[in-house]
Amino acid sequence: MALSFASPNSQSRILSVGAYRPSRIIPNSEIVDRIDSSDEWIRERSGIESRRFAGPDESVISMALAASEQAISRSGLSVSDIDAVIVATITYPFQTPSAATELIMKLGNPKAAAFDISAACAGFCYGVGMAADLIRGGTAHNVLVVGVEKLSDFTDPDDRGTAFIFADGAGAVVIGKSESAGIGPMIWGSDAESRDAILMTPSWIDLKAPGSVGWPDISMQGQTVFRWAVYQMAPVALKALEVAGLTPETLAAFVPHQANMRIIDAMAKSMKLPDTVAIARDVRVSGNTSAASVPIAMDALLTERPDLHGKSALIIGFGAGLVYAAQAIELPPAPNKAPKK
């Protein structure tokens, strides 16, 4: 007997975005002494002038909750309208249960489907692609996608290669049904041959062993990651535009993972983006927040350029694995114009 079920929804789009930035601002001057560096060196190498570090009272969940509540409020929906939650993070300090299940309890919607994904700096874009497919397939109606990190817990302040890069924060979007396409096909994949380029070591098993070798911190082969991001990710970004029927000339905004300013600028140049394209460069004041960087940068760009609400954009995440994901989207409408259910 053939299966019988409701016809899937045809399209989906981002209804809203929210963000949370910890209150503590860390200028380069607080970083340089321990890594024998200078403000000028950090700015030249990364474009970062400051970053945000969460305090003892700011956790992965509290930051995710604040960003989520803002996104839901802006969407025109209520918490009970959210039937699935995806959290992208590598810094939730528990293997299980998931951050997503703790988040839905805090939100007051404990019956929603909820799960975490671990794709580092590509995690948010993975989540957007999954949410779009869940909605198009009829499995979910409204999905909350959250990127959140407290990387200060897993960064060695004495590591010259990473101490000035990573930071904390959270961003969230609500994705729902749409009469027209608002999220393009996801171009995603891995280059696992370079898996060792970014690591968080030692393992929990090693940490448990007698004579522990220390806390798990992030390490990175900077030049390897830079070359991969600049030369391999631009073609991925252009492919995401192509499959969505867009070109660099028809794009309104580019919101890449906020790895560092040199990578962002090199990608834009390689893609031949015209000057008319608004480029998110939030890394200058927020640092690299891994899975949270794309939604935080999206929120910042829309705050600076409210005329971009509802316009076309390209988002791309790339990082540890090495893994990547990109898709063309319509930026969410202005909050007071968000669709009502």
- Domain architecture of the chain: domains with CATH: 11-178 (3.40.47.10), 187-337 (3.40.47.10)
Q: What is the per-residue DSSP string for 162-214? A: TTTTB-EEEEEEEEEEESS--B---EEEE-GGGGGGEEEES-HHHHHSSS---
Nearby residues of 1 by Cβ (< 8 Å), 6 or more positions away:
none
Say whether 121 is catalytic.
yes
- Annotated active-site residue in 109, 125, 257, 260: 257
Whole-angstrom Cα distance, residue 61 to residue 115?
14
Residues in the chain: 341
Whole-angstrom Cα distance, residue 282 to residue 261?
9
pLDDT digits (tens, 9 = 90+) for 146-193: 999 999 999 999 999 999 999 999 999 999 999 899 999 999 999 999
On whether the CB atoms of residues 190 and 319 are closer than 8 A, the answer is no
Q: What is the DSSP letter of 248?
A: G
Say whether 257 is catalytic.
yes
Q: What is the per-residue DSSP string for 290-315? A: GGGHHHHHHHHHHHH-GGGTT-EEEE
Task: Determine the 3-state secondary structure of 246 from DSSP.
Answer: coil
Percent of the chain at pLDDT > 70 equals: 95
According to the model, what pLDDT value does residue 308 have? 98
Nearby residues of 75 by Cβ (< 8 Å), 6 or more positions away:
15, 16, 142, 174, 176, 338
According to the model, what pLDDT value does residue 337 have? 52
Question: Residue 112: pLDDT above 90?
Answer: yes
pLDDT grade for 336, boundaries at 50, 70 and 90? low
On whether the CB atoms of residues 164 and 215 are closer than 8 A, the answer is no
Question: Residue 37: pLDDT above 70?
Answer: yes
pLDDT grade for 89, boundaries at 50, 70 and 90? very high
According to the model, what pLDDT value does residue 211 have? 75
Q: Give the bridge partners for 256, in sequence order.
A: 316
Q: Considering the entire predicted model, what is its pTM?
A: 0.95
Beta strand pairing call for 143-150 and 168-178: antiparallel
Alpha helices in 13-59 (DSSP H): 39-46
pLDDT digits (tens, 9 = 90+) for 206-233: 888 777 778 899 999 988 999 999 999 9
According to the model, what pLDDT value does residue 341 have? 43
Question: Residue 4: pLDDT above 90?
Answer: no
On whether the CB atoms of residues 28 and 44 are closer than 8 A, the answer is no
Q: With 0-12 CB in 10 A as exposed, 13-18 as middle and 19+ as buried, what is 3?
A: exposed
- Annotated active-site residue in 121, 125, 141, 260: 121
According to the model, what pLDDT value does residue 205 have? 87
On whether the CB atoms of residues 338 and 302 are closer than 8 A, the answer is no
On whether the CB atoms of residues 282 and 258 are closer than 8 A, the answer is yes
Say whether 125 is catalytic.
no
